[in-house]
Amino acid sequence: MMAYSEDHIALAAEYALGTLDADERAQVETMMSVDKDFTAMVGAWEYRLGVLNQMAGSVEPPPELWDRIRTAVGHSEPQARLVLPEAEPPAAPVIVEPAPVVDTSNVIRLSAQARRWRNVASLTSAIAAALVAMIAVGVYQPDLLPDRLRPRPRTEVVEIKTPSASAPPSAQFVAVLQKDGGSPAFILTVDGASRNFTVRRVGAQPEPGKSFELWIVSDKLQRPRSLGVIGGNDFTARPVLSAYDPEVVNQATYAVSVEPEGGSSTGVATGPIVFTGKLVEAVPPATPAPSKAH
């Protein structure tokens, strides 16, 4: 698109606004007939100003308005007959020297430009005010807007998750940790699915300044691995067995050693092994119920 002067841009805006006189409108229409880019610029201004026309509905003036107009211009009563004054005798001609001609074309042109840009500035302010008003009305009272300007209702899709059927219980494994067939010292319970374990203190009594530490022992591991210190409460639960293969967990031997308070600092058992045991399946995994034939 070619570059246009400020006068051309202002002419296009005023043409769309409808404030040009007959000569200026003819000038714009002539330019539009030969210049597609100028026609497009006029169309762009008409599009920007369209919001003003859309927000303003047609209003029929009340009948008494015309009576007030006629009264204001002095046409409410019958007009008296126009009488022309008698012509006076011609006076003697007076010879007046012609005044020097002053070129006012630049002044007229600057005045027209100033008027045109004042109109464009007012036009821009009106567009901005109309847009702000339209946005405010659309937010608080959208019913006041024409149908094509009303904001479309937003539909929010909410996914409703139906509660899934509870997972069937997994197998449960239990090991009684004791010494030489004596009374149970600890009971180790392992969940078959999550491999989380719980140690239940039964009869073991810690020595002063000592801690019980649980170990997993398997020929598939290079050495016994610590599962942590058994706490002083009745139950100690940990998830560390989830790092091991289920076959290792189910077939391993579990041992309890007596270590310095806080457990072994070397990663290997430093004290005597006092209790051992192996897991047995105490609760089998639940099998899903067969589906009913339809």
Q: How far apart are CA 238 and CA 227, in angstroms?
A: 8
**If one looks up domain 172-283 in CATH, what number appears?**
2.60.40
Average pLDDT over residues 47-63: 65
Sequence spans of domains, the chain = 1-55+110-151, 172-283
**Please, which contacts does 28-32 make with residues 24 or more away whose CB atoms are closer than 8 Å?**
none
CB 144 within 8 A of CB 137: yes
Model pLDDT, residue 163 = 46
pLDDT at 253: 93
Half-sphere exposure for 164 (CA within 13 Å, toward CB): 3
The better pLDDT of the pair 23, 149 is held by 23
Buried b (16+ CB within 10 A) or exposed e, 57-76: eeeeeeeeeeeeeeeeeeee
Q: Which of 5-19, 47-61, 68-82, 116-130 has the highest mean pLDDT?
A: 5-19
For residue 150, give every residue at least 6 positions away whose Cβ sits within 8 Å of its Cβ, in sequence order, or none: 138, 142, 143
> What's the rounded mean pLDDT across residues 187-191?
89
The pLDDT value recorded for residue 216 is 92
